[in-house]
Amino acid sequence: MFLLAVALLSGLMLTGDLIQLTAGGGTVFSMSFLGMENNGGEVIQRLWPMTVILAVVPLLALVTIFLYKKRSLQMRLTMLVLLLSLGTLILGAFYVLMFDRKIDVNIIWKVKVLFPLITAILAWLAWRAILKDEVRVRSYDRLR
């Protein structure tokens, strides 16, 4: 259940703007899945690491759901999803700070900024649930 929520929330990050930045003169820049865009929707800078991470997290979460028979691999991939979600936060902050250094901008926060943090928390909860299942299965094996 948690991994499905991770896949859905991280899939929503592939659409629309993540953050909007306003510069002097009414220029509006937005950070999206494709990169930094200007007012007209033209991509002015590609953010390849961010694009790759945003594409990999929902796919990895969906793959992890179907690995229920291999719980140790499922736990590792869930931890990778958690780390990639936190990496999205760090990378997004890095890009915004670097863009702010080039041009003095004001940040307009969107709700989608919180999605990587929420997906990281949900991935951690999924990891704990998988761990509990693994402990339960091992205890049943011990009883036989």
> What domain range includes position 84?
2-138
Q: Does residue 25 lie in a domain region?
A: yes
**Residue-by-residue pLDDT tens, the chain, 144 positions:** 899 999 999 999 998 888 888 887 778 888 888 888 888 778 888 889 999 999 999 999 999 999 989 999 999 999 999 999 999 999 988 988 888 888 888 888 889 889 999 999 999 999 999 999 999 988 887 766
CATH of the domain at 116: 1.20.140
pLDDT tens per residue, range 38-59: 887 788 888 899 999 999 999 9
Q: For residue 144, is it within any domain? A: no
Residues near 15 by Cβ (< 8 Å), separated by ≥ 6? 33
Q: What is the pLDDT of residue 33?
A: 86
- Residue 41: C-alpha distances to residues 16, 23, 56, 102, 113 (Å): 11, 16, 24, 20, 20
Query: Which residue carries 């299965």 as its tokens?
Result: 137
Would residue 143 count as lying in a domain? no
Please state the domain count of the chain: 1
